[in-house]
Structure 1
């Protein structure tokens, strides 16, 4: 691990892709890359939804989000915007329902005019993906102050065969990215995987951890608890890498590191009911534990030693044993 802090908002290194061991290989995909018939793609997604027991509308939306990002990589704006959020989780072989794209702008003036240029460029890309993006429907609004990140939100309409879909993109700016943005391989639902600039996993974990600390037992960002547990169960990490990323995010937000256990200990029976209802509603029961307390217990075992500064930088996380151990593994974060 490099001990020097790298520039948080720099351009992504173009030296290689981040494609973690065990990443989703697309064995459940239907169809093939390069399909040109919108009808065929539409029905292929229906078939995939039935196989996976998911709503067709969910996969139609996710497919359109993917295609927006794929086209973005073919525009001059491809290095301006860094992917984060729910769509990025597919890079780490994790998928959960999501209806929007989250990105961070690098070294640009983030305003209405800039985002409209991005959308127009994406819509103008010729692609055999069956999707039509209507740039004229684009509307840009500020992200509300009570939302997690400040920035701009853009909404536009897309069409896939007879489906009319709505694309929501939230773009923030200025948040630290540690160690730096990186190229990642984003798997497509129907094949046609592609490279895109994305958050490193250390920053994904760090942002969710500090949000968990800030909101404490008032938080209903249940998806963060799902993501943190899933990431802890899937990959090894170096303690020093996660500590550096967490410290960068905490400093940026003006948060002092403290015990996560203390922050969330006051969740009550009402929170357990809300957690259970959310799991059912989002069809995410296979990716999470029935009891919120159990979900949090695993997350705290993973992150509490870092928050309390108890680990040497070279310690590594064993995802199978769910413990921090001495020595060196081949970590996901470098």
Structure 2
């Protein structure tokens, strides 16, 4: 199956799932892109430097959400220098992985500070993913300095389709 055919197949399966679950297709596209990014992150050499938190973690716990989330929230255990984060995210985007139809555009990465002048500044990363010519905007917020007590745990993040699951560190329940 070609890369284009796989992307079209994944897109069609997500569309079918959206209809069956009576959920917006754009929401499933967003969740799929975040899931596949987390998969690449989990396979990267820097996986241990990130801890999943926020609404996507609640999704992994199957907790009910009042609204869907459109970003990935992570705790970073590394330098919060913008150029360093840019390189880490670009490396994750370019990581070879099992074909899943989605491509992350490392050239589209934009990195900026959030929580200016706070004791622990965060970093916001924006980038684009593509699935069968559908352009998907993504946002990743990385916080720094939080103490995780008890210690972070390893979780297997649930997948929308039959692709390998991300296994990554997360805040404990």
Q: TM-score, normalised by structure 2?
A: 0.88
- Please report how far the alpha carbon of residue 91 of structure 1 lies from its aligned counterpart in structure 2 after TM superposition: 2.1
Report how many aligned residue pairs link the two structures: 164
Secondary structure of 1:37's partner?
helix
Going from structure 1 to structure 2, the CA distance change for 1:60 and 1:88 (only over 3 Å counts) comes to same
Structure 1 segments (4+ residues) deviating >2 Å: 144-147, 191-194
Equivalent residue in structure 1 for 2:81, among 83, 86, 111 = 111
Secondary structure of 1:42's partner?
helix
Indicate yes or no: 2:95 matched with 1:130.
Answer: no
Indicate yes or no: 2:163 matched with 1:184.
Answer: no
Q: Say which structure is richer in helix.
A: 1
**Partner residue of 2:44?**
75
Going from structure 1 to structure 2, the CA distance change for 1:196 and 1:95 (only over 3 Å counts) comes to farther
Q: CA RMSD in A?
A: 1.8
Going from structure 1 to structure 2, the CA distance change for 1:126 and 1:40 (only over 3 Å counts) comes to same
Contact 1:86 1:95 in 2 (8 A): no
Once residues 126 and 138 of structure 2 are traced to their aligned partners in structure 1, the CA distance between those partners, rounded to angstroms, is 6
Alignment of 1:138-157 (within 5 A): 138-145=109-116, 150-157=121-128
Listed one character per residue, the Cα deviations across residues 195-252 of structure 1 (whole Å, up to 9, x for unaligned) are: 1111111xxxxxxxxxxxxxxxxxxxxxxxxxxxxxxxxxxxxxxxxxxxxxxxxxxx
Indicate yes or no: 2:33 matched with 1:64.
Answer: yes
Secondary structure of 1:114's partner?
helix
Q: Where do 5+ consecutive residues of structure 2 fail to align?
A: none
Structure with more contact order per residue of length (Cα contacts < 8 Å, sep ≥ 6): 2
Contact 1:87 1:95 in 2 (8 A): no
Going from structure 1 to structure 2, the CA distance change for 1:78 and 1:95 (only over 3 Å counts) comes to farther
Once residues 45 and 136 of structure 1 are traced to their aligned partners in structure 2, the CA distance between those partners, rounded to angstroms, is 26
Once residues 160 and 122 of structure 1 are traced to their aligned partners in structure 2, the CA distance between those partners, rounded to angstroms, is 17
Equivalent residue in structure 1 for 2:72, among 68, 78, 101 = 101
**Partner residue of 2:9?**
40
Q: Where do 5+ consecutive residues of structure 1 fail to align?
A: 1-35, 202-334
Contact 2:32 2:160 in 1 (8 A): yes
Listed one character per residue, the Cα deviations across residues 265-314 of structure 1 (whole Å, up to 9, x for unaligned) are: xxxxxxxxxxxxxxxxxxxxxxxxxxxxxxxxxxxxxxxxxxxxxxxxxx
